[in-house]
């Protein structure tokens, strides 16, 4: 099988869906070739499917996200891109008050077949306004589904599934993953929204992560394996709705859980999963629920400070050993 990168997988998913369904349109900054989006996520698409359905937008996030919503409820299936997830704050009204509420508020009169894609995450010295992980904000809102693929294979399958969904999906891509290559089938395929993946089977502890943290967790588990510790790794893939069953059945097996989240701790997916375990998995536990998250400061520019603030592989190794009393 050929290897392609995460950003190529995203471009391919969009291209194939545009070829399959002429209602699919792309809207965002610099979408057309030769630019093909800031990280190449639409590279090659306009050269193959033409420019008619690929709309380069002004830097006008509230306006064009809202326009994508208006197009979605009147017959199109837009994929709208923000250049960085951080800029989503500008479009919040259209996302939270309009798009998320609309079907419900209208009593089910409409469908909202809309995908909003945005690059997310830190570890790039991009500082506080280009490093956010805001998935927890959106998981808080009824009417939104939130997807964060951790690798190229999932990126393609989840994006195709998202485009075919009749609901509004936020699809957050991690900037550290764009150039990571892996085997990805050429033909279109889907990965269901709302289903987690067990990336590694193990017996001593369940480690839950998503997006770029899956890479860090798998690196840590490789180190731990050499020290005789067997981790079960769950990649959530979708943080809203959360695949509770996969998490609970893993904790039933391992009796321990660590949640690794790149974003801030308070009112977050990580604290939500903790509540889930406390509520429905308490009897399984042999150790306290453990969390690793970003420290509660804006993401700093200097690499030494950024690395201190964001979760690192070594933090995961140490935390797992502490939970297992092997530190």
Partner 1 sequence: MDSTIARHIFEKMYAIRVFEEKVETLFAKGELPGFVHLYIGQEACAVGVCANLETKDYITSTHRGHGHCIAKGCNLDRMMAELFAKKTGYNHGKGGSMHLASTEIGILGANGITAGGLPIAVGAGLTSNMLKLGSVAVAFVGDGATNQGTFHESVNLAAAFKLPVIFAVENNQFGVGTRFTEVSNGIDIVKRAAGYGIPGVIIDGMDVVAVYEAAKEAIGYAKAGNGPTIIEMKTWRYRMHFQGEPATYRSKDEETEWLKKDPLKIAKTKLKMMGLLDDLIIKEIEASVQNELEDAVEFARNSPDPMPEDALTDLFA
Question: Which of 66, 56, 60 shows the shortest CA–CA distance to 25?
Answer: 56
Q: Give the residue with the Cβ less far from partner 1, 67 or 200.
A: 67
Stretch that binds partner 1, among 28-36, 81-89, 118-126, 139-147 (CB under 8 A): 139-147
Stretch that binds partner 1, among 65-73, 155-163, 217-225, 269-277 (CB under 8 A): 65-73
* 167 binds partner 1 per the rule CB under 8 A: yes
Diameter over CA atoms, the chain: 60
Please count the CA atoms within 13 angstroms of the CA of 293 that sit on its side-chain side.
22
Measured between alpha carbons, how far is 93 from 34 in angstroms, rounded to an integer?
32
Among 71, 196, 242, 323, binds partner 1 (CB under 8 A): 71
Stretch that binds partner 1, among 55-63, 228-236, 275-283, 303-311 (CB under 8 A): 55-63
Measured between alpha carbons, how far is 315 from 262 in angstroms, rounded to an integer?
12
* 206 binds partner 1 per the rule CB under 8 A: no
Bridge-based pairing of strands 169-174 and 145-147 is: parallel
Among 30, 40, 53, 190, binds partner 1 (CB under 8 A): 53
Measured between alpha carbons, how far is 299 from 301 in angstroms, rounded to an integer?
7
Among 35, 111, 189, 318, binds partner 1 (CB under 8 A): 111
* 166 binds partner 1 per the rule CB under 8 A: yes
* 230 binds partner 1 per the rule CB under 8 A: no
* Pair of tokens at residue 320: 């797992």
Measured between alpha carbons, how far is 296 from 231 in angstroms, rounded to an integer?
27
* Pair of tokens at residue 239: 């943080």
Measured between alpha carbons, how far is 55 from 31 in angstroms, rounded to an integer?
7
Measured between alpha carbons, how far is 137 from 133 in angstroms, rounded to an integer?
9
Among 7, 31, 83, 98, binds partner 1 (CB under 8 A): 98
Task: Write out the catalytic residue numbers.
Answer: 61, 130
* 49 binds partner 1 per the rule CB under 8 A: no
* Pair of tokens at residue 8: 């190529």
Among 51, 97, 129, 227, binds partner 1 (CB under 8 A): 97
Among 45, 72, 217, 221, binds partner 1 (CB under 8 A): 72
Binding residues vs partner 1 (CB under 8 A): 23, 25, 53, 55, 57-58, 60, 62-76, 78, 93-94, 97-98, 102-112, 142-143, 145, 166-167
């Amino acid at each position: 099988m050929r290897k392609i990168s995460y950003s190529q997988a995203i471009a391919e998913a969009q291209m194939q869906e545009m070829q399959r369904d002429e209602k699919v349109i792309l809207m965002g900054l610099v979408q057309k070739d030769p630019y093909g989006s800031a990280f190449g996520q639409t590279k090659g698409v306009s050269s193959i499917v033409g420019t008619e359905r690929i709309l380069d937008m002004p830097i006008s996030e509230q306006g064009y996200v809202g326009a994508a919503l208006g197009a979605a409820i009147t017959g199109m299936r837009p994929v709208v891109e923000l250049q960085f997830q951080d800029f989503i704050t500008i479009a919040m009204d259209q996302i939270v008050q309009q798009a998320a509420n609309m079907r419900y508020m209208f009593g089910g009169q409409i469908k909202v077949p809309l995908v909003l894609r945005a690059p997310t995450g830190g570890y790039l010295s991009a500082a506080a306004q280009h490093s956010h992980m805001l998935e927890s904000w959106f998981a808080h809102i009824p009417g939104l589904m939130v997807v964060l693929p951790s690798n190229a294979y999932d990126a393609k399958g989840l994006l195709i599934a998202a485009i075919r969904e009749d609901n509004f999906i936020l699809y957050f891509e991690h900037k550290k993953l764009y150039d990571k290559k892996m085997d990805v089938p050429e033909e279109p395929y889907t990965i269901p929204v709302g289903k987690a993946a067990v990336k590694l089977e193990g017996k001593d502890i369940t480690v839950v992560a998503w997006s770029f943290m899956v890479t860090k967790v798998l690196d840590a588990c490789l180190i731990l394996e050499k020290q005789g510790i067997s981790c079960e790794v769950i990649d959530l893939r979708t943080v809203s709705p959360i695949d509770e069953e996969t998490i609970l059945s893993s904790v039933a097996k391992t009796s321990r859980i660590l949640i690794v989240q790149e974003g801030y701790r308070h009112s977050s997916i990580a604290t939500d999963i903790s509540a889930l375990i406390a509520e429905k998995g308490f009897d399984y536990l042999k150790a306290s629920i453990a969390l690793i998250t970003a420290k509660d400061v804006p993401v700093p520019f200097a690499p030494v400070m950024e690395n201190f603030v964001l979760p690192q592989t070594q933090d995961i190794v140490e935390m797992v050993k502490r939970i297992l009393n092997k530190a």
